[in-house]
Chain A
């Protein structure tokens, strides 16, 4: 696969990420671009994805073996939500069950591009702190500029109410609630998944966002934000909030 770095538009320049409608990802394999189109990914779709993630750790002699499988649920997500493709030869896409015929070497990058969300470098360095509002900045790939080239958005802002000690306790507890199969000593730890908690924290703590639009209007209403925000963006924003990647938390004022 060739370079999949998106062409970034800055939110500070007025760009808005369209949350609704069809969603496309595109990549180049060899000489040819392949483009996948998806129906809107709902929070339920992301919930199914997260529930399929396998995260285990096991002692092996003097080392630890950690398995984090996000690939299989990602492939399932792509196959379930894919509505059409461009770039392939033949008319396979007109036959029932055509999604299952796409090779894993294309499903994997498509799934990865759907999850291309991370912290925005240097976010918030140009503004003073607001103790009542903690800002988190994301950069995300979303949509395409042309076949084979992703577009993206830099500086997507999520503003949260301050996190309390009780929030932090629930967050840490969710991370520590694990089960062990195969005995306490040599068994495999199955780590708990905390996406449900992160969704609920997002809906509880979010105050406003910048850089998103729905039905061609900027996303401003709080209920609309809770209902329309992409589930993966919710999880990433709350993870950053708790990781201390926000401005206030960096200053030791995250709680």
Chain B
């Protein structure tokens, strides 16, 4: 039996997967919209576009909670943190750094790129190299 809040590496992986999913969400939304317009939609496509985690769903619930906690702390709200919450914040920060390394932000608009070798920003279309 794993207590999710105590599995720090699992929390880091779940956070990284959530960040990756957010990055690709616009593409998924666009693909879904196109499929709805064309009528070319089936279970396989829906499964492909659905959020998918390699970890048991409880990890994502905990990450969402810790992200909420992080936003409250960032807004100046003070809490006495439990060990699991403090480690959760650290795991999420580690995931964020890993995400930024894999998806460096555009130096013009700050939008995270799909890879480290993108030639052009996906959002503002400015040349990165």
- Which A residues are closer than 8 A to B by beta carbons? 57-59, 61-64, 165-166, 169, 172-173, 175-181, 183-191
Across the interface, B62 reaches (CB within 8 A) one of A63, A176, A187, namely A176
Interface of B is mostly: helix
In the complex, the answer to whether A179 meets B58 with C-beta atoms within 8 Å is yes
Inter-chain CA distance A165–B69, complex, in Å, is 10
Inter-chain CA distance A166–B72, complex, in Å, is 10
In the complex, the answer to whether B69 meets A189 with C-beta atoms within 8 Å is no
Inter-chain CA distance A105–B48, complex, in Å, is 39
- Which A residues touch B37, using CB under 8 A? none
Known: A180-B4, A189-B61. 13 other contacts (CB 8 A): A59-B53, A62-B47, A166-B79, A172-B68, A173-B65, A175-B61, A179-B1, A180-B1, A180-B2, A180-B56, A187-B2, A189-B4, A191-B58
In the complex, the answer to whether B53 meets A175 with C-beta atoms within 8 Å is no
A-B contact count (CB 8 A): 85
Inter-chain CA distance A58–B60, complex, in Å, is 12
B38 at the interface (CB under 8 A from A): no
Inter-chain CA distance A173–B4, complex, in Å, is 12
- Shortest CB distance B57–A (Å): 4
In the complex, the answer to whether B58 meets A178 with C-beta atoms within 8 Å is yes
Across the interface, B56 reaches (CB within 8 A) one of A172, A175, A185, namely A185
In the complex, the answer to whether A169 meets B79 with C-beta atoms within 8 Å is yes
Residue of A64, A172, A180 most packed against chain B (CB within 10 A): A180
In the complex, the answer to whether B1 meets A181 with C-beta atoms within 8 Å is yes
- Shortest CB distance A57–B (Å): 4
Residue of B53, B58, B61, B62 most packed against chain A (CB within 10 A): B58
- B1-42 Cβ-contact flags toward A at 8 Å (1 or 0): 111110100100000000000000000000000000000000
In the complex, the answer to whether A180 meets B72 with C-beta atoms within 8 Å is no
In the complex, the answer to whether B62 meets A179 with C-beta atoms within 8 Å is no
Interface residues on B, range: 20 to 34
- Which B residues touch A172, using CB under 8 A? 65, 68-69
In the complex, the answer to whether A178 meets B65 with C-beta atoms within 8 Å is no
Question: Contacts A178-B62, A179-B4, A181-B1 hold; do A63 and B57 have CB atoms under 8 A apart?
Answer: no
In the complex, the answer to whether B58 meets A57 with C-beta atoms within 8 Å is yes
In the complex, the answer to whether A169 meets B72 with C-beta atoms within 8 Å is yes
Closest-by-CB residue of A relative to B80 is A166
In the complex, the answer to whether A57 meets B77 with C-beta atoms within 8 Å is no
In the complex, the answer to whether A62 meets B57 with C-beta atoms within 8 Å is no
Closest-by-CB residue of A relative to B47 is A62
In the complex, the answer to whether B61 meets A176 with C-beta atoms within 8 Å is yes
In the complex, the answer to whether A63 meets B50 with C-beta atoms within 8 Å is yes
- Shortest CB distance A100–B (Å): 33
Inter-chain CA distance A179–B61, complex, in Å, is 11
- Shortest CB distance B122–A (Å): 26
- Which A residues touch B1, using CB under 8 A? 179-181
Closest-by-CB residue of A relative to B82 is A173
Inter-chain CA distance A186–B77, complex, in Å, is 36
Inter-chain CA distance A189–B10, complex, in Å, is 13
7 smallest CB-CB distances across A and B, nearest first, come from A189-B58, A178-B58, A176-B65, A62-B47, A57-B57, A180-B2, A180-B56
